[in-house]
């Protein structure tokens, strides 16, 4: 067998360009140089100084790949298009591999890397856990592999860096993150590796992260294309499980893949062994849902006669903690998994789950996880995957359910769906950072892309006519003729609720609440709630005589908040009869002493509360002031002083911020006085009394954080570029409470749902104590980010620098 690793970059006659998949041409040998024509590309050789020219290179023998498959991995046959992909890569083609979860994409680059007689494949991977998983598995097979990440100690990093630059480095594969790959120090190392003819190929795993259309877009992934520019002769292989046409195009463009010589391997997306089912909820009622999940798991165990490995996905960390505690309390061997848990505990959970042998002491049957648990988790016998709530995209859902049944045996995928939850996710997506605009204006903005994918997921969930398998595959671009029952059978043989029990599914969907999207037009506080009489209000045509808050905008659609109808128990008798404004929020108010523009403060007679004593230092006076520890003790409200300090907060396994916070001695805070008016007309589902109560508790939660004795300066600085005076700060907190309460109301169709929503927002507010959440982009702190966004929207306009910076 003849072989060598890094061949010449172009000192051979140009082999004719053949379309994708015809990599047999790649075997063409340049007689002059004896090197393979596999790297040939005029575009790639441009700018290359031919330092790679190596004479008398032997032809590569692709049977080497099969040998590796048998001897290193112990498999008798290739799966899917593995053989073609592996050989094309071995021979030096660029390759784009789109294959369903569990197909065996890792082998597509591991085999050629091992088959290469010398040199290294550099693998870019988005997650440390994913890398570690592959590294561990390769080491078990005695494959030399290395990685550089923050988890590697300094001296080891030094040693690995040295080895990488040897003339004959020991490792076959080197794993790194996109962030490290693009640093100038690492590029310097790469230059040496390349100069030594050891840079065999670049592998981009989970390549959908490159795409602006991808659900997991990662800014740093976009920069990987720089490697193609700097090392044009180095072949690139990109792999993903979820690439629509748009994502594929984006990957090819961004990485600069050579379309003329690209090996494109597309597989069917269908996972016929997965049973998809959607369970409809009238509204998210956590206790019922948790009990139902417990019952489901127990029934499943009983049917199989033994515990089975499973996964429950939740969007929020705290739901993971609560649900896993609930299930553990009921005797199940469940553990939470999210980024708020220390890495040691996560490793233990992962190990217990991956190596799960029921009955073994450290075995974990069930992991309750956020999306942090996913990519790269390769366990064959996962028998069920439950989505406690709605993921943010169809791609995400497909990838997460893809963890099930990787051994080819049947597995169940259950999605809990309620319209309230879908509205909530929509709101997240809509409000998520919209600053990323597509390359050359070609791609849509981030929120358009994300909204589209979410919309498709919602359609998938609510569609009870089309087979779930077909819906998914169509989303990824497969053309399926649903009039042909034979071809449909290849997708689904009664392996989804729609196909297996259509009538039951039809009756189940009637449970969904009738809440519709129009209700989700939660007004942006700054846009539509204006203190009566203020300049802004006047500009918008506010009634300075009596209507407290107004909006002249009609973009709030069907919202009919405000002073439109004058009746009901809470409605003041003497409220002015004339109603000028059609659209205004239900809650109208004026923060005490704030809003200097208020020339005629509105007094709603029935709603004036008893004069609360306002402590002078309920909010710290200015940002420039010395830290409050130095202040006289009486300057800080007693209830705050007695609260635990930030350093006491338990940021461990269960992220028990809530508990710690609840240890505070007094829940009562003396807040600045406000005058309130609530329109009962628009509080049909939830009484004015309940709303007032919940509003006050939201407001209290906000005040606790932003008067927090140790860190409040940090919080205010995070929110605003400029200093705010006391009135302004009171105004911000007040307005944010208004906005958050409205948001909870608009996303709920029952009192229970509303109360549950407010309590969840309060937990999010408490999470602001964790300094890390302020700048976090993690999916599972998105609720907290929503609270921050709300606060920023409520800043006076001149101090909105931070908010703008985020979204510009």
Ligand X SMILES: Nc1ncnc2c1ncn2[C@@H]1O[C@H](COP(=O)(O)OP(=O)(O)OP(=O)(O)O)[C@@H](O)[C@H]1O
Q: Is the distance from CB of 235 to CB of 92 less than 8 angstroms? A: yes
Does 102 engage in binding with ligand X (CB under 6 A)?
Answer: yes
Min CB(145)–ligand X separation in Å: 15
Residue 400 to residues 371, 382, 421, 793, Cα–Cα distance (Å): 8, 12, 18, 34
Phi and psi torsions of 606, nearest 5° = -75, -10
The C-alpha atoms of residue 130 and residue 205 are separated, in whole angstroms, by 10
Task: Give SS3 for 806.
Answer: helix
Min CB(276)–ligand X separation in Å: 17
Does 402 engage in binding with ligand X (CB under 6 A)?
Answer: yes
The C-alpha atoms of residue 417 and residue 420 are separated, in whole angstroms, by 9
Which residue number places its CB atom closest to ligand X?
A: 104
Number of residues interacting with ligand X: please give it, by CB under 6 A: 19
Task: Give SS3 for 310.
Answer: strand
Does 81 engage in binding with ligand X (CB under 6 A)?
Answer: no
Nearest to 320 by CA among 763, 785, 766, 790: 763
Min CB(147)–ligand X separation in Å: 17
Does 107 engage in binding with ligand X (CB under 6 A)?
Answer: yes
Q: Is the distance from CB of 561 to CB of 635 less than 8 angstroms? A: no
CB nearer ligand X, residue 402 or residue 655: 402
Interactions with ligand X, residue window 160-199 (CB under 6 A): none
Structure tokens of 489? 């059978």
252 membership: H or E segment, kind and range: helix 245-255
Does 209 engage in binding with ligand X (CB under 6 A)?
Answer: no
Q: Which stretch binds ligand X (CB under 6 A): 97-105, 261-269, 430-438, 664-672?
A: 97-105
Nearest to 392 by CA among 411, 370, 366: 370
CB nearer ligand X, residue 107 or residue 204: 107
CB nearer ligand X, residue 380 or residue 601: 380
* Sequence-separated (6 or more) residues with CB below 8 Å from residue 400: 311, 313, 371, 374, 385, 387, 391
Among 40, 64, 95, 104, binds ligand X (CB under 6 A): 104
The owner of tokens 């080497």 is: 64
Min CB(228)–ligand X separation in Å: 23
CB nearer ligand X, residue 127 or residue 452: 127
The C-alpha atoms of residue 637 and residue 616 are separated, in whole angstroms, by 9
CB nearer ligand X, residue 407 or residue 662: 407
The owner of tokens 């051979």 is: 12
Which residue(s) pair with 97 in the sheet?
Answer: 239, 265
Q: Which stretch binds ligand X (CB under 6 A): 99-107, 303-311, 321-329, 434-442?
A: 99-107
Min CB(416)–ligand X separation in Å: 23
Q: Which stretch binds ligand X (CB under 6 A): 43-51, 73-81, 499-507, 675-683?
A: 73-81
CB nearer ligand X, residue 243 or residue 619: 243
Min CB(118)–ligand X separation in Å: 24
Does 75 engage in binding with ligand X (CB under 6 A)?
Answer: yes
Does 79 engage in binding with ligand X (CB under 6 A)?
Answer: yes
Task: Give SS3 for 762.
Answer: helix
Min CB(378)–ligand X separation in Å: 4
CB nearer ligand X, residue 406 or residue 793: 406
Structure tokens of 400? 């997460």
Q: Is the distance from CB of 403 to CB of 374 less than 8 angstroms? A: yes
CB nearer ligand X, residue 241 or residue 742: 241
Among 5, 82, 730, 767, binds ligand X (CB under 6 A): 82
Structure tokens of 92? 């030096």
- Which DSSP symbol is given to 513? -
CB nearer ligand X, residue 203 or residue 457: 203
Q: How far is CA 760 from the centre of its chain?
A: 19
Does 406 engage in binding with ligand X (CB under 6 A)?
Answer: yes
Does 103 engage in binding with ligand X (CB under 6 A)?
Answer: yes
Structure tokens of 154? 């300094």
CB nearer ligand X, residue 83 or residue 638: 83
Interactions with ligand X, residue window 241-280 (CB under 6 A): 241
Does 109 engage in binding with ligand X (CB under 6 A)?
Answer: no
Min CB(386)–ligand X separation in Å: 18
DSSP alpha helix (H) spans, 330-378: 343-354
Does 84 engage in binding with ligand X (CB under 6 A)?
Answer: no
Determine what percent of the chain falls in helix, strand and coil, rounding each to the nearest 5: 45, 10, 45
CB nearer ligand X, residue 384 or residue 678: 384
Radius of gyration in angstroms for the set of CA atoms belonging to the chain, rounded to a whole number: 30
Residue 634 to residues 286, 592, 641, 702, Cα–Cα distance (Å): 41, 22, 9, 21
CB nearer ligand X, residue 116 or residue 205: 205
Does 378 engage in binding with ligand X (CB under 6 A)?
Answer: yes
Does 99 engage in binding with ligand X (CB under 6 A)?
Answer: yes
Q: Which stretch binds ligand X (CB under 6 A): 72-80, 114-122, 499-507, 793-801?
A: 72-80
CB atoms within 10 A of CB 485: 8
Min CB(240)–ligand X separation in Å: 8
Nearest to 116 by CA among 65, 82, 76: 65
Pairing of β 334-337 and β 366-369: parallel
CB nearer ligand X, residue 106 or residue 799: 106
* Sequence-separated (6 or more) residues with CB below 8 Å from residue 248: 96, 98
Does 105 engage in binding with ligand X (CB under 6 A)?
Answer: yes
The C-alpha atoms of residue 414 and residue 279 are separated, in whole angstroms, by 7
Interactions with ligand X, residue window 597-636 (CB under 6 A): none
Min CB(399)–ligand X separation in Å: 7
CB nearer ligand X, residue 170 or residue 380: 380
Does 66 engage in binding with ligand X (CB under 6 A)?
Answer: no
Min CB(308)–ligand X separation in Å: 18
Does 78 engage in binding with ligand X (CB under 6 A)?
Answer: yes
> Interface mask (CB under 6 A) for ligand X, residues 358-377, using x and -?
------------------x-
Q: Is the distance from CB of 171 to CB of 164 less than 8 angstroms? A: yes
Among 7, 101, 432, 711, binds ligand X (CB under 6 A): 101
Min CB(761)–ligand X separation in Å: 34
The C-alpha atoms of residue 56 and residue 58 are separated, in whole angstroms, by 6
CB nearer ligand X, residue 125 or residue 694: 125
Residue 168 to residues 190, 192, 197, 198, 199, Cα–Cα distance (Å): 14, 12, 9, 8, 11
Q: Under the rule (CB under 6 A), what is the footprint of ligand X?
A: 75, 77-79, 82, 99, 101-107, 241, 376, 378, 380, 402, 406
């Amino acid at each position: 067998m003849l072989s060598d690793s890094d061949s010449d970059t172009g000192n051979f006659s140009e082999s004719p360009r053949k379309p994708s998949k015809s990599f047999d041409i790649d075997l063409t040998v340049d007689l002059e140089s004896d090197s393979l024509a596999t790297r040939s590309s005029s575009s790639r050789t441009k700018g290359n100084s031919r330092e790679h020219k190596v004479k008398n290179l032997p032809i590569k023998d692709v049977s080497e790949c099969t040998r590796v498959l048998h001897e290193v991995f112990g498999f008798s046959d290739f799966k899917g298009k593995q053989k073609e992909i592996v050989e094309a890569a071995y021979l030096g083609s660029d390759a784009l591999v789109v294959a369903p979860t569990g197909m065996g994409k890792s082998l597509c680059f591991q085999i050629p890397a091992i088959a290469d007689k010398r040199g290294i494949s550099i693998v870019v991977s988005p997650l440390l856990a994913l890398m570690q998983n592959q590294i561990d598995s390769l080491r078990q097979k005695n494959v030399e592999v290395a990685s550089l990440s923050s988890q590697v100690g300094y001296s080891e990093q030094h040693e690995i860096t040295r080895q990488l630059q040897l003339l004959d480095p020991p490792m076959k594969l080197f794993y790194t993150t996109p962030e490290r790959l693009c640093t100038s120090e690492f590029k310097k190392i790469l230059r040496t590796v390349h100069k030594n003819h050891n840079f065999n190929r670049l592998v981009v795993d989970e390549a959908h992260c490159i795409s602006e259309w991808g659900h997991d877009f990662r800014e740093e992934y976009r920069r990987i294309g720089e490697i193609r520019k700097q090392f044009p002769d180095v072949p690139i292989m990109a792999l993903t499980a979820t690439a629509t046409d748009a994502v594929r195009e984006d990957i090819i463009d961004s990485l600069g893949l050579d379309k003329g010589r690209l090996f494109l391997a597309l597989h069917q997306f269908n996972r016929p062994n997965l049973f998809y089912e959607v369970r409809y909820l009238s509204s998210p009622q956590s206790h019922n849902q948790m009990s139902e999940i417990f019952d489901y798991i127990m029934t499943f165990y009983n049917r199989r006669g033994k515990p089975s490995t499973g996964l429950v996905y939740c969007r929020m960390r705290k739901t993971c903690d609560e649900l896993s505690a609930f299930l553990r309390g009921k005797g199940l061997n469940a553990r939470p998994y999210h980024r708020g848990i220390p890495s040691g505990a996560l490793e233990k959970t992962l190990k217990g789950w991956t190596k799960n042998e029921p009955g073994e002491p450290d075995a974990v049957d069930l992991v309750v996880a956020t999306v942090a648990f996913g990519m790269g988790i390769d366990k064959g016998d996962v028998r069920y995957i439950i989505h406690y709530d709605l993921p943010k995209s169809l791609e995400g859902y497909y990838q997460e359910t893809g963890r099930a049944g990787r051994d080819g045996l049947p597995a169940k995928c259950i999605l809990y769906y309620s319209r309230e939850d879908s509205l909530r996710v929509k709101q997240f997506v809509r409000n998520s950072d919209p600053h990323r605009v597509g390359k050359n204006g070609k791609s849509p903005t981030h929120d358009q892309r994300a909204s589209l994918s979410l919309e498709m997921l919602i359609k998938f969930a609510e569609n009870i006519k089309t087979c779930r398998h077909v819906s998914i595959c169509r989303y990824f671009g497969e053309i399926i003729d649903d009039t042909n029952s034979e071809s449909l059978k290849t997708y689904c043989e009664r392996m989804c609720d729609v196909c297996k029990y259509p009538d039951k599914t039809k009756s189940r969907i009637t449970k969904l609440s009738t809440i519709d999207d129009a209700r989700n037009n939660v007004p942006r506080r700054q846009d539509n709630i204006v203190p009566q009489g203020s300049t802004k209000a006047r500009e918008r045509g506010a009634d300075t005589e009596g209507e407290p808050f107004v909006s002249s905008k009609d973009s709030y659609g069907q919202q009919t908040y405000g002073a439109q109808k004058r009746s009901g128990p809470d409605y003041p008798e003497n409220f002015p009869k004339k109603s000028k404004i059609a659209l205004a929020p239900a809650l109208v108010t004026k923060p005490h002493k704030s809003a200097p523009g208020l020339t005629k403060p509105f007094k709603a007679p029935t709603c004036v509360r008893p004069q609360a004593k306002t402590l002078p230092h309920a909010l710290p006076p200015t940002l420039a002031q010395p830290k409050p520890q130095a202040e006289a003790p009486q300057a800080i409200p007693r209830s705050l002083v007695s609260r635990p300090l930030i350093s006491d907060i338990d940021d461990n396994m269960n992220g028990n911020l809530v508990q710690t916070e609840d240890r505070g001695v007094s829940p009562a805070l003396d807040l600045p006085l406000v005058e309130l008016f609530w329109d009962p007309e628009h509080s049909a589902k939830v009484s004015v009394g309940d709303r007032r109560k919940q509003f006050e508790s939201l407001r209290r939660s906000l005040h606790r954080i932003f008067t927090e004795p140790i860190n409040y300066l940090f919080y205010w600085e995070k929110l605003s570029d400029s200093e705010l005076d006391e009135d302004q700060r009171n105004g911000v907190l007040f307005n944010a409470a208004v906005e958050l309460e409205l948001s909870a109301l608009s996303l709920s169709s029952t009192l229970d749902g509303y109360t549950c929503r407010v309590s969840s927002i309060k937990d999010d507010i408490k999470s602001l104590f964790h300094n890390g959440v302020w700048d976090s982009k993690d999916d599972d702190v998105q609720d907290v980010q929503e609270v921050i966004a709300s606060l920023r929207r409520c800043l006076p306009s001149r101090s909105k620098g931070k908010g703008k910076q985020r979204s510009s």
